[in-house]
Structure 1
Amino acid sequence: MVVIRLARSGAKKRPFYNMVVTDSRNRRDGRFVERIGFYNPVAAENEKGLVVDAERLAYWQGVGAQLSPTAARLVKQIAAKPAV
């Protein structure tokens, strides 16, 4: 099954996550098909903390990719934000 989930990168105590499309059998930080965004939980106020390519997200969901619980929470957060 194809899933959309977060892959951790960044330094110790400074997490950075890439939102990736991957096969569910691959490791968390292993091989992926496509990177569709990122999440930086320790972003400064002038930096973007969460960016997702909505067009690619819609495409992958349209062909059957499932969101992980954390990715679903983040996508819901983006949908709730008013457009600037």
Structure 2
Amino acid sequence: MIKLRLKRCGRKQRAVYQIVAIDVRSPREGKALRKVGFYDPIKNQTDLNVRAILYFLEKGAQPTGTVQDILKKAEIDKELRPNQTKFN
């Protein structure tokens, strides 16, 4: 199963995160299938590859809670077609 989740980067006390598509059995810092976005909680910046995110959601990937909140804030959940299953 594939999940969209955060991968920690940056330095000590200054974390930034990559939003990645990754196998659920992989560790947090493990090899990702694909990088689909970037999130900086300190500057509150996001950079999302909407096409890649929608591709993985169509294939059944499940976003984690934090990634789900980021996607809702960016209004990507509204771009899902009606015949696709929405995430919780």
User: Do the two structures share a fold, i.e. TM-score over 0.5?
Assistant: yes
- For 2:19 and 2:3, the matched residues in 1 are separated by 10
Between the two structures, name the one with larger relative contact order (CA 8 Å, sep ≥ 6): 1
Alignment-derived partner of residue 36 in structure 1? 36
Across the two proteins, how many residue pairs are aligned to each other? Answer: 76
1:13-59 CA-to-partner distances (Å, cap 9, x unmatched) read 1010000000000001111100001001122xxxx710111111100
Q: Which runs of 5+ in 2 are unaligned?
A: 77-88
Which stretches of structure 1, 4 residues or more, deviate above 4 A after TM superposition? Answer: none
TM-score, with structure 1 as normaliser: 0.86
- For 2:72 and 2:52, the matched residues in 1 are separated by 16
Percent same amino acid among aligned pairs?
30
The 3-state SS of whatever aligns with 1:60 is helix
How do 1:1-84 residues align onto structure 2 when only pairs under 5 Å count?
Answer: 1-43=1-43, 49-79=45-75
Q: Which runs of 5+ in 1 are unaligned?
A: none
Pairwise CA RMSD of aligned residues?
1.4
TM-score, with structure 2 as normaliser: 0.82
- For 1:18 and 1:25, the matched residues in 2 are separated by 18
- Paired letter, 1:55: R
